[in-house]
Structure 1
Amino acid sequence: MKLSAEFRELSLQFYQDILDDISSQEELISTVLSPLKDEAKRARLRDYLSLVTSDNFSNDELKNLWWSSSADIVFYDGAELRIFLKRVRDRL
């Protein structure tokens, strides 16, 4: 599956030392979403995250999608990544 522009933009927020700068998963989600101000972009990202976290994508496919992004943070467990991305989606 092709990465959406909004997903690429989101993945850029996961820089190498971001976990040193935050204290909770909620803070992480707020931090990575903070640059995404445009409501149309947020809606497109919400739709994309709904698509890729649906049952139509396996955990391995989702993990490979994440690994093909620009994120410096690695998820080794596709199920955990799915849960995390659903939480991100729900905050949009």
Structure 2
Amino acid sequence: MIEVTRHASFAQEICGQYFVRFYEIYTTLDEVAALGIRGLNEEEKKELALVLDDITSSRYSADDLVKLWNSSPADVWFGDGEEVRMLFRRARQMIA
């Protein structure tokens, strides 16, 4: 399982941006991914990129990603880890 404490800053930086019914405002994957990284400066994005590279690797299961997401300060829960992986990968691509 993903070490939640190791990625605590990640949880604050990206997952905390998601609020109840965000999907009614942000409808595309790009919009949803951008929501998670908005407000970060370049240094924060570089640090987040490393975390995203780690947690989207095959090293972690879909269940691990659900547990990470659901332990974050996000106001919404995901039940599908592959959706979480897809969101994190898109956010990572946008940081590139």
TM-score bin, normalised by smaller chain = 0.7 to 0.9
1:18 pairs, out of 22, 27, 31, with 22
SS at match of 1:22: coil
Residues 29 and 88 in structure 1, CA contact (< 8 A), matched pair in contact too: yes
Partner deviation per Cα, 1:30-85 (whole Å, 9 max, x = no partner): 2332211x111101111001101111111111110111001122211112211221
The residue that corresponds to 2:44 in the other structure is 41
Identity %: 27
Alignment-mate amino acid for residue 9 of structure 2: A
Aligned Cα RMSD in Å?
Answer: 1.5
Is the contact made by 1:59 and 1:78 (CA closer than 8 Å) also made in structure 2?
A: yes
Report how far residue 20 of structure 1 moved: 2.0
Q: Alpha-carbon deviation of 1:28? A: 1.8
**Hey, what's the Cα distance between the residues in 2 that align with 1:7 and 1:83?**
16
TM-score, scaled relative to structure 2: 0.83
Does the CA contact (< 8 Å) of 1:6 and 1:41 recur in 2? no
Mapped partners of 1:28, 1:83: distance in 2: 11
Aligned pairs, number: 91
Q: Higher mean Cα deviation, 74-83 or 20-29? A: 20-29
1:58 counterpart = 2:61: yes
Stretches of structure 1 lacking an aligned partner (at least 5 in a row): none
